[in-house]
Amino acid sequence: MVAVLGVDACPTGWVAIELKDGRFARAWWETGLRSLLREAEQGAARTGLEVVAVDMPLGLLDEGWRQADAEAAAVLGRLRGSVFRVPPRAVWLEPDYVAASRRCRELTGAGLSRQSWGLAAKLREANACLADANGDRLFEVHPEVSFWALAGGIPLTHRKKSWAGQMARRSLLATAGVDLPDELGPAGRVPPDDILDAAAAAWSAHRIAQGRAGSFPDPPQRDGQGRRLAIWY
């Protein structure tokens, strides 16, 4: 049995969808990513958990922009703005937005959006998990890229917070065998777009575990520690 996890950041922390052999198994959430991964690892002996796909940039460069972000944005059509350019590591070490934006301009020639800086705490949290014992199980995904792949390489036209967008995404998942139940327990309090994103991440995780996933770029870049740096789908 192949067990995988898809994880998405949500307003109250992190939400996870687990698939077993590509089918929905369970959903849950935790306030911290490390505690969520610890819960997953505790069950790994029972489930044989192989891959954890996380919707958050994993891997930072010492200089320049990541190739993954540019390549992923290029396939998403009108939704390309959902992929933001991830600046170098030093930018994320700054204490506040003003300092980070200034540092970003020094290193890249371009400033940093407030929307990007809003992910700073969770981006740092996710990248800290790469150094953990099972950090090699973590793969970066982007749900819109996963949905693009689910749709046969066609970018979606409706945004994920719209009714049409959510119905299209749920339908794509169901067609791929990922049927999300109406009742998700405590995880059901998480916004529906975050649930759908976690499910798309889990679908990509299953493809990674089977050796069928693609990546932007292909082959992946490497960060300063030699870890892979790519968006998988």
Q: Which long-range contacts (CB under 8 A, 24 or more apart) does 78-83 make?
A: 78/155, 78/157, 79/144, 79/155, 79/156, 79/159, 82/142, 82/144, 83/142, 83/144, 83/145
Task: Return the SS3 of 192.
Answer: helix
Cα 6 vs. chain centroid, distance in angstroms? 8
Q: What is the DSSP code (8-state) at residue 18?
A: E
- Tell me the fold of 3-58+138-216: Nucleotidyltransferase; domain 5 (3.30.420)
pLDDT digits (tens, 9 = 90+) for 69-116: 999 999 999 999 999 999 999 999 999 999 999 999 999 999 999 999
The type of residue at 126 is A
Predicted confidence (pLDDT) at residue 50 exceeds the cutoff of 90: yes
Q: Name, in order, each residue with C-beta under 8 angstroms of 106's C-beta and a sequence gap of 6 or more.
A: none
How much is the pTM?
0.95
**Local confidence band at 134 (pLDDT 50, 70, 90 cut-offs):** confident
pLDDT digits (tens, 9 = 90+) for 146-202: 999 999 999 999 999 999 999 999 999 999 999 999 999 999 999 999 999 999 999
The pLDDT of residue 212 is 97
Q: What is the DSSP code (8-state) at residue 203?
A: H
Q: Token digits for 165? A: 């967008």
Contact 156, 193 (CB under 8 A): no
Measured CA to CA, the distance from residue 141 to residue 23 in angstroms comes to 19
